[in-house]
Amino acid sequence: MPVILATIVITLLVGLLYINFTGPEKKVETEIEHLYPVEDPQFLRSMGLLMGPSILDGNKVTELINGDQIFPAMLQAIRAAKKTVMFETFIYWSGDIGNEIADALSERARAGLKVHVLLDWVGSSRVEDAIVDRMKSAGVEVRKYHPLTWYNLDRINNRTHRKLLIVDGEVGFTGGVGIAPQWTGNAADPDHWRDTHYRVEGPIVAQMQSVMLDNWSKTTGKVLHGRDYFPTLQPAGQQSAQMFASSPNGGSESMLMMMLLAITAATRTIDIANAYFVPDDITRRALVAAARRGVRVRIIVPGEHIDTATVRRASRGLWGELLEAGVQIHEYLPTMLHCKLMVVDGLMTSVGSTNFDVRSFRLNDEANLNIYDAAFAARQTEVFEADLKQSRRVTLQAWRARPFTEKLHEHALAWFGSLL
């Protein structure tokens, strides 16, 4: 009897793991053919019609470098809110910045505003109950995304990794930052991470609001709408943009397809800065193909300062074919690099929550802002190259010369990329 019971339990666990790490949709396996460059109008038509939401003109997106710029801007926007505040995040931990943001949200709720906060149940498990209770007592509606219950075990691995703050439906923020002490400061030491967030104005903010409200309605069953959430938005700048989202509940691999289309369209340059770079086979093939047709591909990843060492080892185990094709890989040295940035041909920039790994491409809810503007791309390239100066390039010779035990460990972990 004990053997039978153990067999049943093991079978159930294996089945649960399979369900959590696979989706109902067929995986993208066919490589996208290079048909046109990024500057071709057909590229924009494909990104706006084949891939996702419409590309809207009249936007202004401003980068915020590290916590010293990011958090003051977010707090200023929250404190200036007049009607609504929507906030969705993966990580919300205890600490001074968590308390400060909670106080700002609570003050606005007490002033009569509609304040909605969606925290990922796993990512925000380290926030003290007292912080959440304080917000709720002030009138903030706080909900957890996919909390563990017996009836949603098949969704336990589907997390919201999105980082979205929308104020009055007029000003938005997105990027890589979480609410935790590691993101404060100016990346001056290993205890304070390097990250970039983005302040957004213009018609594209309505798309950001829609992405946030989609998960809010799935979590609460409530549909929020009206002028307080979707006011008339006037042009705020000259940038064209679209807010791209993906979720296993609908379009689980749309983010991967968007990234692949951009990589495939490149004819000159691809710059990628990414915290968790564990690309699957088709993504590696796309990057290799780009390098072989003469595209300069530069990638910055975390060095020894990383919060998940297994991810770094798994990533390094996959670098061989990239380095052989001429892809440049650089490890950021001063601290943990948590950025999520891709700039293609100095024209398209994609920023947001998405990592180059299977979890982001197939399991998580993600959101990326695509900006189609040469001036913005040039500025992000400057930021990228500033990080590049603080990074060490990994050569093919050095990669091949690493110790055998290190190679074995990295190769083994690379097989489990979807679990990391």
Convert the pLDDT of each residue in 107-156 to its tens digit: 999 999 999 999 999 999 999 999 999 999 999 999 999 787 665 655 56
State residue 123's pLDDT score: 93
Q: Is residue 313 part of a domain?
A: yes
Distances (CA, A) of 99 to 43, 102, 127, 166, 279: 44, 5, 10, 19, 36
List the beta bridge partners of residue 351: 341, 369
Q: Is residue 256 part of a domain?
A: yes
State residue 19's pLDDT score: 43
The 10 Å CB-count burial string (b at 16+, else e) for 255-293 is: bbbbbbbbbbbbbebbbbbbbbbbbbebbbbbbbbbbee
Helix 404-414 / helix 309-316 crossing angle, nearest 10 deg: 100
Q: Is residue 5 part of a domain?
A: no
Q: Is residue 111 part of a domain?
A: yes
Q: CA 208, CA 352: separation in Å to the nearest integer?
A: 11
Q: Is residue 4 part of a domain?
A: no
Low-confidence residues in the chain, pLDDT < 70: 1-30, 149-156, 250-252, 414-420
For 412, the token pair is: 């083994």
Answer yes or no: are the C-beta atoms of 64 and 70 closer than 8 Å. Answer: yes
Q: Which residues contact 386 (CB under 8 A, 6 or more apart)?
A: none
Considering only CA atoms, which of 311, 294, 305 is closest in space to residue 332? 305
State residue 282's pLDDT score: 94
Considering only CA atoms, which of 215, 240, 262 is closest in space to residue 356? 262
As for how many domains the chain has, the answer is: 1
Q: Is residue 23 part of a domain?
A: yes
Q: Is residue 3 part of a domain?
A: no
The 10 Å CB-count burial string (b at 16+, else e) for 323-336 is: bebebbbbbbebbb
Which CATH number do you get for residue 144? 3.30.870.10
Residue 74, domain extent: 12-419
One-letter amino acid of 27: K
Answer yes or no: are the C-beta atoms of 155 and 216 closer than 8 Å. Answer: no
DSSP string, 84-151: EEEEEES-B-SSHHHHHHHHHHHHHHHTT-EEEEEEETTTTTTS-HHHHHHHHHHT-EEEEES---GG
Query: Alpha-carbon torsion 57, 371, 386, 176, what sign?
Result: positive
Considering only CA atoms, which of 271, 273, 356, 278 is closest in space to residue 316? 278
One-letter amino acid of 369: L
Active site residues: 161, 163, 168, 338, 340, 345
- Dihedrals phi, psi of 34, to nearest 5 degrees: -75, 110
Considering only CA atoms, which of 371, 356, 355 is closest in space to residue 161? 355
Q: Is residue 36 part of a domain?
A: yes
Considering only CA atoms, which of 317, 320, 319 is closest in space to residue 309? 317
